[in-house]
Amino acid sequence: MAKEQGTKENPRALKTPPLSSEFAMYTDIKDGKEMLVSTVGKAIFLHYHYCCLADLHAMLKKYNDRMELGSADEQKPVKAGTVEAWGRAEQNLVGGWYGLKKGLCGQFAMYVSPLMEKLGVAELTHDAKENKMRAK
């Protein structure tokens, strides 16, 4: 019997939207809260609220078109109207950042969008730059 994917023992193998870098993502629980953990090699890289998957899907369904990802590090400004901007906005369902690790809260769009595509709930473009996504 195959192991369940998306666990710490069997993380999902993913690629960034431009298909230029590999990473893995799994679900974990910390302090009683479910979260997504992104790893590159053996290093734990980023943490996001698990609810971001359903929240982003609902927002994209309502948007009803392709939305630019606009990925950026936490310390950099983001383009308005992008997935990255929404992932930091006070108007989203968590009232701010979906990223949980201080100093590494950015890159929400870069790492969450491939998981949503793998789960079959979103479509993603795979260009060198300015990728977009939409809900299925």
Banded pLDDT at 109 (limits 50, 70, 90) = very high
Residue (of 48, 45, 3, 2) closest to 24 by Cα position:
45
Q: Does the residue 2 lie in any domain? A: no
- Tens of pLDDT, residue by residue over 50-91, are 999 999 999 999 999 999 999 999 999 999 999 999 999 999
Q: Which residue has the higher pLDDT, 118 or 31?
A: 118
Residue 120 has pLDDT above 90, yes or no: yes
Mean pLDDT calculated for residue range 18-36 = 94
61 falls within a domain: yes
Q: Show Cβ contacts of residue 46 under 8 Å, excluding neighbours closer than 6 positions.
A: 37, 38, 99, 101, 104, 107, 111
Counting the structural domains of the chain, the total is 1
Q: Note the pLDDT of residue 3.
A: 53
Q: Residue 1 has what pLDDT?
A: 38
Q: Is residue 94 part of a domain?
A: yes
Domain housing 56: 12-130
- Give me the mean pLDDT over the 107-117 stretch: 97
